[in-house]
Amino acid sequence: MSFQTLALDLRDGLAVLTVNRPDKLNALNDQVIGELGQAAAALGEDPAVRGVILTGAGSKAFVAGADISELASQGPAEGKARSLRGQAVFRRFEALRKPVVAAVNGFCLGGGCELAMACHLRLASAEARFGQPEVKLGIGPGYGGTVRLPRLVGRGRALELLLTGAMIDAQEAWRIGLVNRVVPADQLLPEAEKLMRGILAQGPLAVAAVLEAVDAGLEMSQDEALLLEANHFGLLSATEDMREGMAAFLAKRAAAFRSR
């Protein structure tokens, strides 16, 4: 895969995908959105990729938001179309049946915060800053901010951030549940990889099933979600990985999963 606005490093089953526009604080223009969509599709289909870490180039920003120069002249039809394109791309990452961890290394604002929220887990450097400042520009979030933020931090906290456009630091983001961990800046990528390696050591079919059950279950009634969980539980019980995992536990050895 070759990109102009992204960098991709693949090693031992782990893909590190970097938004690579540090001179623009990694702002999301239409080209970045398009390439992110291509990357999500390719990484999802590549059997050599078992997990993805998403980050931003440089030390200043994960993604500082959308490229305002593109938004300034848009009309209503163009604005809706741009929003739908971005939402579809971010949804691809969220719907991947491989774990996606955001390593947030600086400003994570607007579309950047929306991109991070579409990842399954979020690690933040101590210098990271989060916010949805769209109202300051006379618009609202367009890439899922009004949907995912309330689900992560609750309605009241989400509305305070969305309606004031306030920016919060990494510790506050952790306190309200927006990020999973805060780590020193120089340890961000090593800690993200350590977390990911811990996930990749588990049964891959089980990891995929958990991701699907949580993603789909959030939109179901409790009874429907419980049935989905039971279905996954039953299907996993027919796998070689389940038998290997059980045998390894009883033998007090590490499991050798084979995605079967």
- Active site (annotated) includes residue 114: yes
In the set 35, 134, 191, 193, the catalytic residue is 134
- Active site (annotated) includes residue 78: no
In the set 45, 70, 94, 114, the catalytic residue is 114
SS3 string, the chain, reads CCCCCEEEEEECCEEEEEECCHHHCCCECHHHHHHHHHHHHHHHHCCCCCEEEEEECCCCEEECCECHHHHCCCCHHHHHHHHHHHHHHHHHHHHCCCCEEEEECCEEECHHHHHHHHCCEEEEECCCEEECCHHHHCCCCCCCHHHHHHHHHCHHHHHHHHHHCCEEEHHHHHHCCCCCEEECHHHHHHHHHHHHHHHHCCCHHHHHHHHHHHHHHCCCCHHHHHHHHHHHHHHHCCCHHHHHHHHHHHHCCCCCCCCC
Question: Catalytic residue positions?
Answer: 114, 134
